[in-house]
């Protein structure tokens, strides 16, 4: 049987003796699977992403990519953060920002790949502008282009839509789902927004309060492509949203 793309097995992490953050976190993510992580505020979701991306080592347990452990941030993984303001270089144009992901690639290939990534996020027209000349949504699309330009297998999304307005958030959700579909990319989305988790994911993983552990994994078998209006009006969507919301609320009590 083939190995999952990503697996966390019994991962625990504490920042100090009295600050246990993760406790025995275990789940698997398959290839091309879109996974959403939800849980109470401050439960340790970002800490979990740091362990997955090898920016931080777990105290116990392991993270595996196709059955292999790894020590450094791996090339098959890219991260998109909430705070695009701090993740883009203001002194570099959009094109040069995206190019940062490709420093080891030959110039001729680099230009083509940057252009492809900018087309994928619909930013071709803004390639020569600077981040401070862009709207919030455009800056986050630029950050997304920089993440996909390296052709990763897995995109880690740490509340990537939390700093934009409601309409832009919806547009970015559709864009990310479309990119994942077209590039056969897996995604692991951390979000506080339960509608967003159910709408975008193939599986929602619910975490407990600190120290976080997996409370339940809920498969989301809504058909794709998903539509912001019609999918969200189906009884199946409403019932899944109810289930996830109830579980998260129980944790917070």
Ligand X SMILES: Nc1ncnc2c1ncn2[C@@H]1O[C@H](COP(=O)(O)OP(=O)(O)OP(=O)(O)O)[C@@H](O)[C@H]1O
| Binding residues for ligand X (CB under 6 A) | 15, 19, 21, 41-47
Q: Which is nearer to ligand X, 81 or 237 (CB)?
A: 81
Contacts of 240 (CB under 8 A, 6+ apart): 198, 204, 218, 220, 222
Task: For residues 154 and 157, give the distance between their C-alpha atoms in angstroms, rounded to a whole number.
Answer: 10
Q: Which is nearer to ligand X, 7 or 47 (CB)?
A: 47
Beta bridge partners of 62: 9
CB 19 → ligand X: shortest distance, Å?
Answer: 6
Q: Which is nearer to ligand X, 216 or 236 (CB)?
A: 216
- Token readout for 85 is 């303001």
Phi-psi region of 149 (alpha: psi -120 to 50; beta: other; left: phi over 0): alpha
Contacts of 109 (CB under 8 A, 6+ apart): none
Nearest to 231 by CA among 193, 185, 198, 192: 198
Radius of gyration of the chain (CA): 18
CB 77 → ligand X: shortest distance, Å?
Answer: 18
Beta bridge partners of 206: 38, 216
CB 58 → ligand X: shortest distance, Å?
Answer: 13
Task: For residues 71 and 82, give the distance between their C-alpha atoms in angstroms, rounded to a whole number.
Answer: 24
**b/e burial code for range 190-221 (CB count within 10 A of at least 16 → b):** bbebbebbbbbbbbbbbbbbbbbbbbeebebe
Task: For residues 62 and 202, give the distance between their C-alpha atoms in angstroms, rounded to a whole number.
Answer: 23
CB 38 → ligand X: shortest distance, Å?
Answer: 10
Q: Which is nearer to ligand X, 43 or 77 (CB)?
A: 43
CB 112 → ligand X: shortest distance, Å?
Answer: 36
CB 39 → ligand X: shortest distance, Å?
Answer: 6
Q: Which is nearer to ligand X, 44 or 152 (CB)?
A: 44
Contacts of 93 (CB under 8 A, 6+ apart): 127, 128, 129, 130
Q: Which is nearer to ligand X, 3 or 60 (CB)?
A: 60
CB 211 → ligand X: shortest distance, Å?
Answer: 9
Q: Which is nearer to ligand X, 15 or 132 (CB)?
A: 15
């Amino acid at each position: 049987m083939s190995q999952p793309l990503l697996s966390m097995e019994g991962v625990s992490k504490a920042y100090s003796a009295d600050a246990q953050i993760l406790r025995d976190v275990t789940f698997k993510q398959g290839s091309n699977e879109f996974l959403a992580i939800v849980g109470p505020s401050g439960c340790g979701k970002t800490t979990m992403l740091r362990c997955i991306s090898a920016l931080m080592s777990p105290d116990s347990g392991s993270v595996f990519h196709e059955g292999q452990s790894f020590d450094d941030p791996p090339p098959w993984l890219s991260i998109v953060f909430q705070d695009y303001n701090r993740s883009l270089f203001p002194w570099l144009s959009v094109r040069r920002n995206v190019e940062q992901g490709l420093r080891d690639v030959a110039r001729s290939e680099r230009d083509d790949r940057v252009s492809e990534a900018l087309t994928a996020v619909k930013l071709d027209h803004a390639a020569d502008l600077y981040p401070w000349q862009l709207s919030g949504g455009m800056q986050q699309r630029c950050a997304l282009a920089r993440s996909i330009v390296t052709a990763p297998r897995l995109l880690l999304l740490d509340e990537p839509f939390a700093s934009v307005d409601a309409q832009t958030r919806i547009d970015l959700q559709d864009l990310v789902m479309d990119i994942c579909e077209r590039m056969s990319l897996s995604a692991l989305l951390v979000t506080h927004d339960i509608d967003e988790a159910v709408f975008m994911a193939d599986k929602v993983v619910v975490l407990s309060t600190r120290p976080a552990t997996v409370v339940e994994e809920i498969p989301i078998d809504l058909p794709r492509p998903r539509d912001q209006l019609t999918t969200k009006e189906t009884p199946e969507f409403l019932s899944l949203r109810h289930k996830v919301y109830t579980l998260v609320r129980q944790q917070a009590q």
